[in-house]
Amino acid sequence: MPVPDEQHPVPALETRASFLLSQLGLQSAQRFTAALAPLGITPNRFGVLAHLARQEGRTQQELATALGLHRNSMVGLIDDLEARGLVERRRHPDDRRAYAIHLTPSAWEMLAAGDRLADEQEEAMLGPLSAQERTALIGTLSRLVAAAGYRAGVHPGLGSEH
């Protein structure tokens, strides 16, 4: 391996997008995790509730497919959320063998509180940017996320927490 010199300088990390994104991603994840802690929920479980809020009444299988999780992992997540009083299983109206997952009033309250916390965090992080810069940044990041093959709105670490 060559020793850094004038001909082979060490690249400045602060000029690398991947390093800068890593710094901000770690900070954002840590702050959001800490912000949600008083609500008694992790970002991953909050994300499951947020997906349910957009389309309540999905079956566990439909939700697992939408989130890219194995159905057994989804059963465990739903069991946990049900034990916390955040979701309830109801007989599916079109399939008596399946259960539709619905949010409880407590979950709706938690989602509202978590959304306010997310707004505060985003403002703290993006405060130095103009509205136009924020829009451009979100558009660029969305394109990169899609190009990387991630599902929109699904954190890639969701399946790693049980």
Using pLDDT thresholds of 50, 70 and 90, give the confidence band for residue 9: confident
**pTM of the predicted model, to two decimals?**
0.82
Q: For the beta carbon of residue 31, count every other beta carbon within 10 angstroms.
A: 15
Structural domain contains residue 70: yes
Residue 162: per-residue pLDDT? 42
Highest-scoring range by mean pLDDT, 70-74, 120-124, 157-161: 120-124
Structural domain contains residue 156: no
- Contact (CB, 8 A) for 46 and 117: no
Percent over 70 (pLDDT), the chain = 91
Structural domain contains residue 8: no
C-alpha–C-alpha distance, residues 45 and 150, integer Å: 18
Structural domain of residue 75, as residue ranges?
A: 23-149
Structural domain contains residue 9: no
Element (H, E) at 124: helix 105-126
Stretch among 63-67, 99-103, 142-146, 149-153 having the lowest mean pLDDT? 149-153
Between strands 87-91 and 99-103, the pairing is antiparallel
Higher pLDDT, 1 or 25: 25
Residue 160: per-residue pLDDT? 57
Structural domain contains residue 78: yes
Q: Which CATH number covers residue 55?
A: 1.10.10.10
The count of C-alpha atoms lying within 13 angstroms of the C-alpha of 77, restricted to the half-sphere facing its C-beta, is: 27
Higher pLDDT, 133 or 156: 133
Structural domain contains residue 12: no
**pLDDT tens, position by position, 87-102:** 999 998 888 888 999 9
Of 101, 109, 66, the residue nearest 81 (C-alpha) = 101
- Contact (CB, 8 A) for 12 and 115: no
Helices then strands, counting H and E runs in the chain, come out as 6, 2
Query: How many domains, in total, are found in the chain?
Result: 1
C-alpha–C-alpha distance, residues 37 and 31, integer Å: 10
